Amino acid sequence: MESTNAEQEIHLRHVETDVLIPKIMREKAKERCVEKVEAFNHCCKESGFFMVFKCREQNAALKECLTVHYKDPTFFEECKREYIQEKLEFERTGIPSKNRKQKLPTSM
């Protein structure tokens, strides 16, 4: 069975589509908006207590970048496919993807 057919046959629970896949989306969106994340973090570190006032521009740019990804149906489908592949791999091996990734370097 091809993974694309298996992916289409998998029924996702409410928690998967509303919580787990959006979590992947947030992580990947932060990677894609890394410059805006870094600019906002830098501003916050430099501004201290006054960051709410001084970092409005960086915060707005970061929110705009993230929102573009959150509202993109193609990006959702990409993250959904990634989630399904991880789910299928977990069902096959019994090892969560987080643990698989952590164990790779030590076994090489």
CB 84 within 8 A of CB 10: yes
DSSP state of 48: G
Name the phi and psi angles at 99, rounded to 5: -70, -35
List, in order, residues 6 or more apart from 85 with CB less than 8 Å away. Answer: 3, 7
Tell me the pLDDT tens digit for each residue of 28-85.
999 999 999 999 999 999 988 888 899 999 999 999 999 999 999 999 999 999 999 9
State the pLDDT at residue 69. Answer: 96
- Verdict on whether the full-model pTM lies above 0.85: no
Above 80 in pLDDT, residue 97?
Answer: no
- Count the neighbouring beta carbons within 10 Å of the beta carbon of residue 30: 15
Above 60 in pLDDT, residue 103?
Answer: no
